[in-house]
Amino acid sequence: MSDGFDPELVPDARGATRRPEPECPVEVALAAISGRWTTLVLRELTAGPRSFGELRAALPTVSAKVLTDRLAELTRRGLVGKEVHAGFPTRTSYQLTTAGKRLRPLLVELYRTGAALLAETT
């Protein structure tokens, strides 16, 4: 019943699809880190909780709309948690959830792989 794929690459049936499926683990992971600025936001939050303004300060050229979009999507996926502290001015705090912290090894591997590719062509 082999599907012809390396079992380490495709360990179970969910990865043996013939087209992009949102339920495929690879697509799930890609969706989590996809979108411009997303990995940078995750990098910031990996260092600890951050407010909206702190994120903007760390990433000065991201627009408010895009940052809001990224945080909303990450929150929707359960990767980031949001706390609003009442008062004026309003203070918020974004932080990685347990699920969000699971992205860490993937980010490390992204860096490793990218560095290897860069070294290859140089």
Q: Which does 95 bind (CB under 5 to 8 A by kind): a second copy, DNA, none?
A: none
Query: For residues 2 and 84, which CB has a smaller minimum distance to DNA in the complex?
Result: 84
CA–CA distance from 112 to each of 8, 37, 74, 85 (Å)?
A: 19, 19, 23, 38
Residues in region 15-44 near DNA by CB under 7 A: 20, 35-37
Q: Phi and psi of 82, rounded to 5°?
A: -125, 130
Residues at the site binding a second copy, with contacts judged by CB under 8 A: 4-6, 8-11, 14-15, 17-20, 23-30, 32-34, 36-37, 39-40, 43, 46-47, 58-62, 78, 98-99, 102-118, 120-121
Please answer whether residues 61 and 69 qualify as being in contact, where contact means their C-beta atoms are separated by less than 8 angstroms.
Answer: no
Q: Which does 13 bind (CB under 5 to 8 A by kind): DNA, a second copy, none?
A: none
Q: Can you list the alpha helix ranges (DSSP code H) found in the chain?
A: 25-33, 38-46, 52-58, 64-76, 98-101, 104-121
Rule CB under 7 A: say whether 90 interacts with DNA: yes
